[in-house]
């Protein structure tokens, strides 16, 4: 998988920009010069939305639209266009095209596959369960179309069940009418939970050894899925039955709150380092290393599922690592296209520096050095 070229128009700090990429790429620039914005644009053509904000915030201030065009080379050559027009309709209009054909944004997932590390994500990951769920959802959707479909179905049923709960509270619907929604929710929910748990066990096979590459401490890193149903349930049917039971037990509370309080939309993921929850006890450095290890693990998992190396987008990943760990990290990039950013070329491993195309960004203008 390769990104050949990116063209931007009115995207964040970029009026216009055009960059060609090689196999290894380094983007160097001081803070606030536009490094993260550039990687964000590439990421968006891979996932169909940003990890950090909504489209209206991404339009160059004072302009009415942005346009991202990304030339990708994978098993089927692709041109991806991502256009957002701010003043069309109530929420603006987003248009996504692949090879000139309009597609829903969700169709981008699994086409051009990338893995993106940015320090901005560290705080989000350890602060918000919703972000951790989203991370799982995105990772699974990149490699499993069936998962994306189940997720869409689940969300629809969830909305309908929640509407029904509100109607029951208002006295315009009967409690017995919930049964049909409970059954469907449990059905799609069980699929989602099963796939998430199996992903987590794949992650754990490699997470710790990847952590060793980038962390100084010797503690063991393990991640665990915390589902709303019992973890000791083995088959999908058992998960389904247990989920139904939990929904029934939660029914009174659900009617009062007008929301479904159990299910994969409320599940969580925890990471333990040396047996302690890293969210609560981890240092900034440990959080950073854990996320880098997680990203390296994702690369391996995606590669084995889709049979191609995803593109690695690494935003300012080297600054806090010593020489040995920088070298370890660069070794794990072997065989895949890598785009890294840095504030200082001295932070980059020598081997990578020798192999890479180097770009300098200043004031959202880019030039080869």
Tell me the C-alpha distance between 189 and 247, whole Å: 11
Q: Nearest approach, Cβ of 315 to Mg ion (angstroms)? A: 6
Q: Please state, in angstroms and rounded to a whole number, the distance separating the CA atoms of residues 325 and 149.
A: 39
For ligand ADP, the closer of residues 59 and 203 by Cβ is 59
From Mg ion, ligand ADP, none, which one binds at residue 263 (CB under 5 to 8 Å depending on kind)? none
Least separation in angstroms between residue 33's CB and Mg ion is 9
118 vs 279, beta carbon nearer ligand ADP: 118
Which is closer to Mg ion, CB of 13 or CB of 223? Answer: 13
Query: With CB cut-offs between 5 and 8 Å by kind, which of ligand ADP, Mg ion, none does residue 34 bind?
Result: ligand ADP
33 vs 208 by CB, closer to ligand ADP: 33
Polymer length of the chain = 369
Cβ pair 283, 215 in contact under 8 A: no
In whole angstroms, give the CA distance from residue 329 to residue 296. Answer: 9
Q: Which residue has the tokens 């090879």?
A: 99
Task: Select from Mg ion, ligand ADP, none the partner in contact with residue 12, using the beta carbon and a kind-dependent cut-off of 5 to 8 Å.
Answer: ligand ADP
Residues that bind Mg ion (CB under 5 A): 35-36
Of 20 and 30, CB closest to ligand ADP: 30
Residue with tokens 């890193």: 221
Q: Report helix, strand or coil for 308.
A: coil
Q: What does 60 interact with, of ligand ADP, Mg ion, none (CB < 5 to 8 A by kind)?
A: ligand ADP
Burial level of 1, CB count in 10 A (0-12/13-18/19+)?
buried
Interface positions with ligand ADP (CB under 6 A): 12-13, 29, 31-37, 57-61
As a dihedral over the C-alpha atoms of residue 16, residue 25, residue 287, residue 320, rounded to 10 degrees, the angle is -110
- Pick what 141 binds: Mg ion, ligand ADP, none; C-beta below 5 to 8 Å, kind-dependent: none
């Amino acid at each position: 998988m390769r990104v050949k070229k990116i063209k931007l128009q009115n995207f964040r700090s970029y009026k216009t920009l055009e960059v060609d990429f090689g196999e290894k790429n380094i983007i160097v620039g001081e803070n606030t010069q536009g490094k993260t914005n550039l990687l964000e644009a590439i990421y968006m053509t891979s996932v169909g939305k940003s990890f950090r904000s909504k489209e209206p915030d991404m339009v160059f201030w004072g302009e009415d639209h942005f346009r991202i065009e990304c030339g990708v080379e994978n098993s089927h050559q692709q041109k991806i266009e991502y256009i957002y027009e701010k003043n069309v309709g109530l929420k603006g209009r987003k248009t996504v095209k692949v090879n000139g054909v309009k597609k829903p944004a969700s169709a981008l997932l699994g086409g051009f596959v990338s893995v993106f590390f940015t320090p901005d994500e560290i705080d989000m990951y350890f602060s918000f369960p919703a972000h951790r769920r989203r991370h799982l959802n995105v990772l699974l959707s990149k490699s499993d179309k069936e998962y994306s479909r189940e997720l869409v179905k689940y969300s629809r049923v969830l909305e309908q069940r929640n509407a029904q709960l509100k109607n029951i509270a208002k006295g315009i619907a009967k409690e017995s009418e919930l049964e049909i929604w409970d059954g469907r929710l449990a059905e799609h929910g069980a699929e989602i939970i099963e796939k998430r748990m199996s992903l987590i066990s794949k992650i754990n096979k490699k997470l710790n050894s990847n952590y060793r590459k980038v962390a100084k401490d010797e503690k063991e890193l393990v991640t665990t899925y915390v589902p709303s149903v019992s973890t000791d349930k083995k088959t999908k049917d058992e998960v389904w039955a247990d989920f139904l039971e939990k929904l029934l037990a939660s029914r009174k509370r659900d009617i009062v709150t007008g929301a479904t309080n159990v299910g994969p939309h409320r599940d969580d993921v925890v990471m333990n380092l040396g047996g302690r929850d890293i969210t609560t006890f981890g240092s900034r450095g440990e959080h950073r290393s854990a996320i880098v290890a997680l990203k390296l693990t994702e690369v391996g998992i995606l590669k084995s599922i889709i049979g191609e190396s995803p593109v690695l987008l690494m935003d300012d990943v080297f600054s806090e690592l010593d020489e040995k760990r920088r070298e370890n990290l660069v070794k794990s990039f072997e065989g895949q296209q890598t785009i890294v950013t840095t504030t200082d070329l001295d932070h980059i491993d020598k081997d990578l520096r020798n192999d890479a195309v180097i770009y300098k960004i200043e004031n959202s203008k880019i030039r080869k050095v």
